[in-house]
Amino acid sequence: MGKLRQRMLDDMRIRHLAVTTQDQYLISVGAFAKYFGRPPDTLGPEDIRAYQIYLIGEKGLSPSSLNVTVSALRFLYCVTLQRDWDIKMIPYARRPKKLPVVLSRDEVAQLFGAVRNLKYRTVLMTMYAAGLRVSEATHLKVADIDSSRMAIRVEQGKGHKDRYVMLSERLLAQLRSYWRDYRPCGWLFPNQERTGPLPISTVQTVCKEARRDAGLSKAVTPHTLRHCFATHLLEAGTDLRTIQVLMGHRSLSTTAVYTHVAIQNLHDVRSPLDLLPDPAAVRS
């Protein structure tokens, strides 16, 4: 698969796909070829169908994981190999619609309070204060913090788009305290060797341990802080379009999911049960 792998890699680079996406696609196509013990260019739609059934039945892949393979195979056959197939012959798995887990403001404060390390606490606070993805936070540079305009520049976020988000006054104070202790140069949150950004896996571990130490019952990941950012803004009265821009969402419908999570307005609505007369009064 050497030449085919290189051609697919070149096709992905030409289209400027994210490096992580390129890696995932190559791994998925490699696993597909290994399953059949044949080069992918000798396999067809029926083989792809059989492989999908195997991934669902025997491997027990979730719809999200299965769809990574589907995207990889669609790219391979329709772009690199230029097969004249109906793209629907390689169907995506339907994903169940689940609402994101959101912490209350008190729970977010508990989470931060459970992180003793200043650097790690500052990373989590940055993600929440600006609604950043974990990869966006770890790839921030010192120069991205613009205190004169009270803004943070997010360079090449998802979809290869730059954007600006607000710089919270409280976060700025936190960042200054962190800078005095760590003196970062280049990467705002460097790895231990100061040769690159802080690994995403480190932030994930920090978040997991903070949840445990804070005694929170809800599942918490770094992405939970991004969900909290959007939901808390919406509950505070920020309009969806502004939240969409801050989050870097391509579609407003993606941002609209937070209308199903925000509960502030629910407190103003009375349940019909509260409006029923007292059963004892009705009986009398």
Q: Which CATH number does the domain housing residue 216 bear? A: 1.10.443.10
In this structure, is residue 18 part of a structural domain?
A: yes
Please report how many Cα atoms fall inside a 13 Å half-sphere around the Cα of residue 140, on the Cβ side: 27
Q: Are residues 250 and 121 in the same domain?
A: yes
In this structure, is residue 282 part of a structural domain?
A: no
Q: Are residues 80 and 138 in the same domain?
A: no
pLDDT at 150: 94
DSSP of 3-25: HHHHHHHHHHHHTT--HHHHHHH
Measure the CA–CA gap between 270 and 3, rounded to whole angstroms: 65
Q: Are 241 and 252 in contact (CB under 8 A)?
A: yes
pLDDT at 240: 84
Q: Are residues 246 and 122 in the same domain?
A: yes
Residue 60 belongs to a domain with what CATH number? 1.10.150.130
Residue 164 sits at φ, ψ, to 5 deg, of -115, 140
In this structure, is residue 280 part of a structural domain?
A: no
Strand partners, 163: 154
Q: Are residues 244 and 169 in the same domain?
A: yes
Q: Are residues 172 and 35 in the same domain?
A: no
In this structure, is residue 273 part of a structural domain?
A: no
Annotated catalytic sites, by residue?
133, 158, 223, 226, 249, 258
Q: Are residues 47 and 109 in the same domain?
A: no
Q: Are residues 159 and 250 in the same domain?
A: yes
Q: Are residues 163 and 83 in the same domain?
A: no
Last residue within a domain, chosen from 60, 89, 118? 89
pLDDT at 157: 58
pLDDT at 173: 95
Q: Are 103 and 216 in contact (CB under 8 A)?
A: yes
Report strand pairing: 161-166 vs 151-157. antiparallel
pLDDT at 210: 96
In this structure, is residue 109 part of a structural domain?
A: yes
Cα separations in angstroms, 281 against 38, 274, 275, 276: 78, 15, 14, 11
Q: Are residues 115 and 235 in the same domain?
A: yes
In this structure, is residue 276 part of a structural domain?
A: no
Q: Are residues 120 and 226 in the same domain?
A: yes
Q: What is the mean pLDDT of each run of 10 residues along the chain (284 residues)?
A: 90 89 94 95 93 92 90 95 88 82 93 96 95 94 95 77 90 96 95 93 96 95 93 87 86 77 67 74 63
Domain around 211 = 105-266
pLDDT at 75: 95
Last residue within a domain, chosen from 89, 124, 159? 89
Q: Are residues 129 and 40 in the same domain?
A: no
Listed residue (56, 44, 58) closest to 92, CA to CA: 56
Q: Are residues 116 and 222 in the same domain?
A: yes
Cα separations in angstroms, 155 against 25, 139, 225, 228, 241: 24, 8, 20, 22, 21
Please tell me the total count of domains within the chain: 2
Last residue within a domain, chosen from 56, 89, 122? 89
In this structure, is residue 235 part of a structural domain?
A: yes
Measure the CA–CA gap between 261 and 249, rounded to whole angstroms: 17
In this structure, is residue 95 part of a structural domain?
A: no
Per DSSP, the three-state class of 186 is coil
